[in-house]
Structures are given as C-alpha cells and as structure tokens.
C-alpha cells in the first residue's frame, strides 16, 4: 500500500452521489469506490436475512427452478477453472432468455446513482460456508452490493497487472491471475513479491456497495452464509468502441506499454547507477593526469601509441586545437571518456588474444542474421549493461562534449564503440540522449555536432544503421516483455 499512488486509492463515500456526479467524476476516473449504506433500504436486507427466515423466503419466492450454480472442484477457492463454474443471474440482457431468479428483482432496486445505465446482468451470489474467489478482473464495470453477511475484498489497479501474472490471453481464464495469493510461489512468480504493497483492502457489511471498475483485479473472501447482488454494465469506452477500431486501439495500447516498459528499465538502471555516478563526481580528481598522459603519448612515436593516432593530422595547429578540447572537459567528463576508451580497448585486446576477428563486410551475413546475432550476444534488458549505464549517467550536453572528444582524439575507438559494442539498450539510451540534446541546443549546433560525429565513420550509413537497428531491437525486447507481463504470451524469438 505504501507505493500506491494517491490517485488510485479506493474512494469512500458516506453519502450517495447523484447520477451526474457518478457519471462525470467517479466512473470516468476508473478507481474503486465504497458507498456505505448504499442499499440499506432494499427490502432484500430484511427479507433475505438467513437469521430471520431469509432462506425459506428465497425458496418460496423462486419456487422449483433449475439454476446454473457455481461449483468448485478445488474446494473453497476458485482458481479460474471456468468449465466447472457459472454465475447465477437474476437478470441477463446478454442472453435473450428468462432467468429463474427474476422474481427477486422485487426486493432490490438499481441504486439511483447508476442513473439509466444499460445493465449487462444482475447476478446473485450466495455461499453456505466461508469461500474465497481467485484473483481476477471483470470486463465490465461492477457494483457489488452486500445483502447479508460480510465480504472482504482485496483490490489491485490494472497497473499492477505485471505482478499478478494474468493467465494467457488466449486461454479460457484469461482474466484470472496465475498467482495463488494464499500461498504464492515466488520462485515461479518472482514479481508477485510486491503484490501486497500494491493492494488495497475493503470490508463490506450489509447495505454497503463497492464499485469495481473494469480491469481492476480483485479477490473476495465471504463469511458463512453471505448473500450479495452485483450489477454489471459496459463502460462508455467499451460501449462506444467500434469493431473496425480494434486494430488501431490494440496498436496504441501496445505502443504505450512498450514505452512504459522502456521507462521502467531505465528507472531501474538509473537507481542502480546513480550511486556510482555520485561517487565518480565526488571522488575523481584525475582529469589533469589523463591530459598529461595523453600528451605524453601524443609526443611519443607512432609505434608506441594506439590505433587512433594514425588517422590524426600532425600539424601544430591541429594538435593545439585537439588538446584544447580535452582541457575544456570537466574531471567527471574526462573520467567517462577514459572509461569508454578503456572499455573498448580492453574488449578489443581480449578479442585479439582469443584470436577472434570481426568482419565488417556487409556480404558476410544477411541483416536478419546480424540482428539475431546481436540479440544473442547482448544481455537481457534486466541485466547490467556497462556501456548503456555509462551513457545513461551523463547529461546530454556533457555527453556531446565527451563524444566530440572521442571524435578528435579517439575516432577509431568511437567507431568500434558504435559499430561493435553498442547493445540494443545502449542504442536506445544514446538516441534518447541525442533527442534531449537537440532540445537544448540550436539547430546550427545540432547539424555541426552530427556532421562531426558521423564524419568519423568510413561508412556513415553503417553507423546510423547500427544505432537504429539496436534501437529497434531494444523495442522488440521490450515488446516481448510486455507480451509476457501483460498478456501472458511467450512469443518464439525466431517468429517474432
């Protein structure tokens, strides 16, 4: 509960709202709400009371009827076995047939604040012993009204979907959680460890009503001999969603969830790396030594220097200008530059020692094979990615200066970084930093930066492809995470 956003907290009303207030403020917010005493004036409150002959009254009112009852083969808890369960309707507009419990409508009235809602059904719920529903959501707005006994509901907003592991969308119980809330197995469902802090608890007594918006997960405990009635109706969104718009809405929703998944990944990485970032800012004092060591190396012979020197001009004016760029970098930026250069060189050294060679020929493999290889060689989005984290920890304009430093001092290192070491996550971070940078500088400065940055590469289009292909692969991996977390689908990588 501590992490529950205030806007998602269950609202409680002692007085009843007007139809206009409910339709314009409560229902559109899609947040659960309790209305204490909402149906206390129902005749059913007294007539159906089991302790006062209520069961005899119900039997006399309904007479001899055949009902579809809710039975559970797994005991007192229903875990989504749809084949052995049916609700008992008092009224159902979705099926054009008479319901045996229709005579009971004389004892209940649709709460006035529901106005002129077109109901999908009114359902009758009664249990003779303590029972517990599974954790699930409904595809309708739901007003649950307690007539007798007590119900205890636990609620989760739709945003908690990923921690509740919904059943596969293609299955018969797609609206049910796969997590056994009573005895969760965190080895099977590790994200479910956070299910309690995202939950809210509500206790309902006779006469109380609970509005459960569509998509809200809920699990309900019922005391012995509890009787309740609930009203289902379609939300305005679903009522007005034309079938020909389904593909559009599906794509919009998936796009939104993919972007949300990207943000979630970056938030985690930022949290992990911020401590290191702060320590670097506070402790690094070797900027001048880095410059001194670089100048000494620059004065040394070509044989004693690394691969970048062969591409640089040797004029005094050029050397002075290049060294001036390093002199302008702050200590933290110099350290990041040093980290990136060292990371690339150490990786290349290891590859050389292992005798591996990288071919940059486009004829050596098809684009699809190259993409599969990138996915195979890069860690999952949840794992720590050193290059991505280094880029993530740097402000956009600072990163611009660092990259310009690499352009003028370590062009081949920059080329190797972009073409061979930039993971999908790193490509996503880099392009985001570029977007942020573009918002902070003038158009002329943008053009000059990109001219210098891409001018390093023998094939500028290869560099652009490497960044954009990596960005697309990151989106693909995030998309697969979304399918897993929100739909319970596990697409095969080869067919994605």
Nearest to 407 by CA among 446, 456, 360, 355: 456
Contact indicator for 214, 204 with CB cutoff of 8 Å:
no
Give the model confidence (pLDDT) of 155-212 as tens digits: 999 999 989 999 888 777 889 999 998 889 999 999 999 999 999 999 999 999 999 9
What pLDDT shows up at residue 96? Answer: 63
Other Cβ atoms closer than 10 A to 312: 17
What confidence tier does 357 reach under pLDDT thresholds 50, 70, 90? very low
Lowest mean pLDDT among 22-31, 59-68, 149-158, 427-436: 59-68
Q: With 70 as the cut, is the pLDDT of residue 293 above it?
A: no
CA dihedral (144, 145, 149, 155) in degrees, to 10, reads: 30
Q: What is the pLDDT of residue 350?
A: 64
Q: How far apart are CA 199 and CA 242, in angstroms?
A: 33
pLDDT at 247: 87
> Taking residues 337-357, what's their average pLDDT?
76
Amino acid 345: pLDDT: 87
Q: Report the alpha-carbon distance of residue 311 to residue 410 in Å, rounded.
A: 9
Whether residue 207 contacts residue 37, with contact meaning beta carbons closer than 8 Å, is answered with yes
Sheet holding 151-156, edge to edge: 131-132, 217-222, 151-156, 200-204
pLDDT value for 204: 98
Confidence check: pLDDT of 366 > 50: no
Domain with CATH 2.60.120.10 in the chain: 6-240
Closest CA to 22 of 213, 241, 238: 213
Measured between alpha carbons, how far apart are the two ends of the chain, in Å? 37
Neighbours of 495 (CB within 10 A): 5
Q: What is the pLDDT of residue 92?
A: 73
List % helix, strand, coil for the chain (3-state, nearest 5): 50, 15, 35
Any idea which architecture 6-240 has in CATH? Sandwich (2.60)
């Amino acid at each position: 509960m501590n992490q529950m956003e205030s806007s998602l907290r269950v609202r409680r009303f002692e007085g009843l709202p007007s139809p206009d207030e409910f339709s314009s403020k409560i229902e559109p917010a899609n947040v659960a709400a309790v209305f204490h005493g909402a149906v206390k004036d129902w005749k059913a409150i007294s007539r159906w009371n089991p302790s006062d002959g209520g069961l005899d009254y119900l039997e006399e009112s309904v007479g001899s009827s055949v009902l579809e009852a809710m039975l559970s083969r797994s005991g007192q808890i229903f875990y989504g076995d749809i084949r052995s369960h049916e609700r008992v309707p008092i009224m159902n507009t979705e099926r054009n047939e008479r319901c045996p419990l229709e005579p009971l409508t004389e004892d209940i009235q649709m709460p006035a604040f529901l106005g002129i809602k077109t109901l999908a059904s009114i359902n009758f719920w009664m249990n003779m012993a303590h029972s517990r529903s599974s954790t699930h959501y409904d595809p309708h707005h739901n007003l649950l009204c307690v007539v007798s006994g007590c119900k205890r509901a636990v609620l989760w907003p739709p945003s908690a979907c990923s921690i509740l592991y919904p059943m596969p969308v293609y299955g018969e119980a797609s609206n049910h959680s796969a997590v056994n809330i009573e005895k969760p197995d965190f080895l099977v469902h590790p994200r479910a460890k956070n299910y309690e802090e995202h939950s809210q608890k509500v206790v309902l007594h006779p006469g109380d009503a609970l509005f459960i918006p569509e998509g809200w997960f809920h699990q309900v405990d019922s005391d012995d001999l509890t009787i309740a009635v609930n009203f289902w109706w379609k939300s305005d969104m679903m009522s007005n969603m034309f079938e020909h718009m389904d593909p559009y809405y599906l794509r919009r929703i998936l796009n939104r969830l993919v972007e949300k998944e990207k943000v979630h990944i970056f938030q985690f990485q930022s949290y992990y790396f911020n401590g290191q970032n702060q320590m670097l800012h506070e402790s690094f004092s070797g900027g001048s030594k880095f410059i001194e060591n670089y100048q000494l190396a620059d004065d040394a012979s070509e044989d004693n220097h690394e691969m970048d020197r062969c591409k640089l001009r040797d004029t005094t004016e050029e050397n002075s200008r290049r060294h001036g760029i390093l002199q302008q970098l702050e200590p933290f930026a110099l350290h990041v530059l040093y980290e990136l250069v060292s990371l690339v060189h150490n990786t290349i050294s290891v590859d050389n020692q292992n005798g591996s060679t990288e071919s940059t020929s486009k004829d050596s493999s098809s684009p699809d094979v190259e993409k599969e290889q990138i996915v195979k060689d890069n860690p999952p989005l949840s794992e720590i990615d050193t290059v991505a984290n280094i880029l993530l920890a740097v402000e956009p304009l600072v990163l611009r200066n660092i990259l310009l430093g690499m352009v003028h001092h370590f062009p081949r290192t920059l080329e190797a970084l972009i073409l061979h070491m930039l993971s999908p996550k790193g490509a996503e971070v880099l392009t985001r930093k570029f977007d942020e940078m573009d918002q902070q500088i003038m158009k002329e400065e943008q053009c000059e930066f990109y001219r210098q940055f891409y001018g390093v590469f023998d094939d500028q289009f290869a560099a652009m492809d490497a960044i954009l292909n990596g960005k697309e692969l990151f989106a693909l991996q995030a998309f697969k995470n979304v399918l897993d977390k929100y739909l319970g689908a596990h697409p095969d990588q080869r067919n994605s």
